[in-house]
C-alpha cells in the first residue's frame, strides 16, 4: 500500500520558473525523503527531512514538512531542462523501517 | 563504491520459466529492499531485509515470488513460474539505518 501521494501527477513549466510538488501521507513518520527518477533509470535520493524538522535546503531544492497536516512540499527554484524527471516522496514510519513511495509527479521543463 | 549493482539489466523470458534477479548492495549497508515498478501500480515494496534477515515480505504478490539474502553482499529475487503480468522493472535498493536509500539501475523483466 502507498503511504505518500504526490500532487500534481504531472507538471509542465517554462525553464527558469519554480516548480512545486506536494506530498501527503497518512501515518506518523520518522522521516520523509524525496527522490528523482530519470526515464529508464534508478531513483536518486535528493533530500531527507526528519519529523522534528520543518524546512531543509539543498542547492536549488527546498523541502518543507508539516506534520500536523501530514504533508510535505518540494520546491525546485530556477528550473532547468535537466530537471525534467519524475519526483517521488517516500516515508519511513515510526512503526517499522520500510521506505514506502508515492506514485510520483512527472515534471517537464519546457525550453 | 560502485553503488548497488543489479543483474541482469534486461531479461526476456517465456511464461512458465524461472527468473532470478540479482543484487549486490553497497558495502556496510544493513538494509536491502526489493521494489517493483509498473505504470499502473507505481513503485511497490516487495520485501526488505535487515542484517540479511527478511523483515517484511507482505508485499510479495504470490508464492511464486521468493527472495533470499545469504550474506551481506548478495540477494536474489526469484519468480517461479513467471507470468506475463510479472513484466515490470524490478529495483533493489540498500540503506544504512533509516537513512536514504541507494537504488540500482533496475532489471527490466519481460515475460512473453
* Interior/surface letters A9-48, b for 16+ CB within 10 angstroms, e for the rest: eebebeeeeebbbebbbeeebebbbbbbbeeeebbebbbb
Across chain A, where does the E strand assignment appear? 5-7, 10-14, 19-24, 29-37, 43-50, 55-58, 61-66, 71-76, 85-93, 99-101, 105-110
In this predicted structure, what is the pLDDT of residue B83? Answer: 97
Torsion of CA B25, B27, B29, B31, to 10 degrees: 30
How close A49 comes to chain B (CA, Å)? 10
State which residue of chain B sits closest to A5, comparing Cα positions.
Answer: B42
Note whether B48 contacts A97, CB cutoff 8 Å. Answer: yes
Confidence of residue A6 (pLDDT cuts 50, 70, 90): confident
pLDDT bracket for residue A110 (50, 70, 90): very high
pLDDT of B85 higher than 70: yes
φ, ψ for residue A97, nearest 5 deg:
-110, 15
For residue B99, the model assigns a pLDDT of 85
Q: Mean pLDDT throughout A65-79?
A: 97
Chain A residues touching residue B56 (CB < 8 angstroms):
96, 98
Tell me whether residues A48 and B99 touch, CB distance under 8 A.
yes
Q: Is residue B13 over pLDDT 80? A: yes
Q: Flag if B101 and A99 touch (Cβ within 8 Å).
A: yes
Residue-level pLDDT at B104: 97
Amino acid at each position: 500500500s502507498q503511504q505518500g501521494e504526490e500532487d500534481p501527477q504531472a507538471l509542465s513549466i517554462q525553464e527558469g520558473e519554480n516548480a512545486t510538488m506536494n506530498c501527503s501521507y497518512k501515518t506518523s513518520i520518522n522521516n520523509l525523503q524525496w527522490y528523482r527518477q530519470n526515464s529508464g533509470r534508478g531513483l536518486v535520493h535528493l533530500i531527507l527531512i526528519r519529523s522534528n524538522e520543518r524546512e531543509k535546503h539543498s542547492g536549488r531544492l527546498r523541502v518543507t514538512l508539516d506534520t500536523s497536516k501530514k504533508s510535505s512540499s518540494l520546491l525546485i527554484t530556477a528550473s532547468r531542462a535537466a530537471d525534467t524527471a519524475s519526483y517521488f516522496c517516500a516515508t519511513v514510519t515510526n512503526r517499522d523501517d520500510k521506505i514506502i513511495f508515492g506514485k510520483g509527479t512527472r515534471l517537464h521543463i519546457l525550453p | 563504491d560502485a553503488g548497488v549493482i543489479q543483474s541482469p539489466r534486461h531479461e526476456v523470458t517465456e511464461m512458465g520459466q524461472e527468473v532470478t534477479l540479482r543484487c549486490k548492495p553497497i558495502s556496510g549497508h544493513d538494509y536491502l529492499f526489493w521494489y517493483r515498478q509498473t505504470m499502473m501500480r507505481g513503485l511497490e515494496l516487495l520485501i526488505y531485509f535487515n542484517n540479511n534477515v527478511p523483515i517484511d515480505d507482505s508485499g510479495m504478490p504470490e508464492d511464486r515470488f521468493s527472495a533470499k539474502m545469504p550474506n551481506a553482499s548478495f540477494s536474489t529475487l526469484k519468480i517461479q513460474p513467471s507470468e506475463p503480468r510479472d513484466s515490470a522493472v524490478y529495483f533493489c535498493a540498500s540503506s544504512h539505518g533509516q537513512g536514504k536509500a541507494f537504488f540500482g539501475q533496475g532489471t527490466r523483466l519481460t515475460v512473453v
